[in-house]
Amino acid sequence: MSLDGDTSTTGDTAQSNTAYGNKAFKRSKSHFADRITADAADGWPVEAGRYRLVISRACPWASRAAVSRRLLGLEDALSLAVTDPLQDDRSWRFTLDPGDEDPVLGIRFLHEAYDAREKEYPGGVSVPAVVDVPSGRLVTNDYQQLTLDLATEWTHLHRAGAPDLYPEALRDEIDEVMDGVYRDLNNGVYRAGFATGQEEYEGAYGDVFRRLDLVSERLAGRRYLVGESITEADIRLFTTLVRFDAVYHGHFKCNRNKLTEDPVLWAYARDLYQTPGFGDTTDFDHIKRHYYGVHAGINPTGIVPAGPDLAGWLTPHHREQLGGRPFGDGTPPGPVPDGEAVPEGHRPLP
C-alpha cells in the first residue's frame, strides 16, 4: 500500500508500509504525479471549475492544500470535497454528504476516481487528491507538488490581494527549510509512531525533537520561517504542530514535551492558528477520530481521548511584536464560503 498522504487502509494504516526487515516506516512517493499547470504540459490545464480537491480534514498533507486554497482565494475556481475522517476497506468515504455520495463527482468512495484513472491500481487511495470533474478521473495525488502549483501555476485565478506563498527570490531557502521539516518532523512523527523496533523509534524520536529545537531557535527572533510573511514553509510546519499535542505526543509516542511547553513554538502555532486560513480549516474532532480510530495496531481499543483542552489556541500570542506582515503586500482572505465551515464544536470558538 502507498502512503503518499493518508491512505484508505483500515486498521494499522502505515504499518502496511513498514519494511519489517529493518522495522522502519517508509513513505512511498506519489504514484499519480501529473501536474495542473498554466501551459498544460502534462495535459491538465489550469481551468476554473474543472477540478475538485478531495481532502480529509484529519490529514496533515491534505490540510496543506486546504490552507493554501483558502489563502489564495481559489474557492470559486477549485471546489472542495471533504471525506469522513474514518475510512473502511473501500477507501475514503463521502458519508458527510447527503446520500453518502459526493454531490459533484457522484461517487461514494474516492477509490472510484482512482479506478477511473487506472483500473485495479494496486496502491493506496490517498488524500489530498485532485479529480477531473468532467471525466471523473484522478489527476494527481502528489501532495508535495500540489500546493506549490496552486501558488505558482494558478496565479491568474488567485483572489485580489492573495499572498505570494512561494516567492521566487526565497525559494532556495524555503526549499531547504521545508526539506528538513519534512524529513525530521512532518514524516518523522510517523516514523516514530509506526516504528516496530526500539532503535528505529528512538532514532525517529530524536529527529523529531532535534528539528523542533532547531525551528524553535529559528523562530525565537523572527515571526515566520522565511522572510517577513507567511510562505509554504509555514503551512507545512503548522499542519504538524497543530496535531502535535492532540495526536503525536501520546498516540505516536513523541512525548519529550508538548507543543504547549515550548514557549516559542506554542506562540508561533497560535499566531498562525488565529490567522484566517489556518484555524478556520482545522478540525480537531476529525483529527482525533481519524488517528485514534483508524490505527488499530497502535490503539486497539479505538478510544478517542477527550482532551486536550483547545481553549489555549485562542489566547494572545504577542508574535506581532516581532514585526512581519502575515500576507506581505496582500490582504487576508474573506469569510469562509457557505458550506465549508468546520462544524461547531470541532474547534475552539471565541
Q: Distance (Å, rounded) from C-alpha 313 to C-alpha 316?
A: 9
CATH architecture of 13-157: 3-Layer(aba) Sandwich (3.40)
The verdict on whether 190 is a catalytic residue reads: yes
Q: What's residue 89's pLDDT?
A: 87
**Whether 254 is catalytic:** no
Q: Provide DSSP, 315-333.
A: S---GGGG---TTTTS---
* Helices 171-181, 232-243: crossing angle, 10 deg rounding: 20
Strands (E), the chain: 18-19, 24-25, 36-37, 44-45, 51-55, 79-82, 129-132, 137-140
Q: Quote the CA–CA distance of 260 and 269 in Å, as a whole number.
A: 9
Among candidate residues 51, 59, 248, 273, the one labeled active-site is: 59
Q: Look at phi and psi of residue 261 and say left if phi exceeds 0, alpha if psi is from -120 to 50, else beta.
A: alpha
In the structure grid, which three cell numbers stand for residue 118, read together?
487506472
Residue 3 CB partners (closer than 8 Å, separation 6+): 13, 14, 16, 17, 27, 28, 124, 126, 190
φ/ψ of 300, rounded to 5, equals -65, -25
CB 85 within 8 A of CB 290: yes
In the numeric block, which cell numbers belong to residue 42? 502534462
Domain ranges of the chain: 13-157, 171-322
State the distance between the two ends of the chain, measured CA to CA, in whole angstroms.
Answer: 41
Q: What is the CATH number of domain 171-322?
A: 1.20.1050.10
Residue whose entry in the numeric block shows the C-alpha cell 513523541: 254
The answer to whether 92 is annotated as binding is yes
pLDDT confidence of residue 122: 80
Q: For the segment 202-259, what is each residue's pLDDT rounded down to a tens digit?
A: 999 999 999 999 999 999 999 999 999 999 999 999 999 999 999 999 999 999 999 9
**pLDDT at site 28:** 56
Tens-binned pLDDT, residue by residue, of the chain (350 aa): 233 345 443 333 333 333 333 566 565 566 899 999 999 999 999 999 999 999 999 999 999 999 999 999 999 999 999 999 999 888 999 999 999 999 999 999 999 999 999 998 888 899 999 999 999 999 999 999 999 999 999 999 999 999 999 999 999 999 999 999 999 999 999 999 999 999 999 999 999 999 999 999 999 999 999 999 999 999 999 999 999 999 999 999 999 999 999 999 999 999 999 999 999 999 999 999 999 999 999 999 999 999 999 999 999 999 999 999 999 999 999 999 999 999 999 999 77
Determine which one of 51, 143, 190, 201 is catalytic: 190
Strands 36-37, 44-45: pairing kind:
parallel
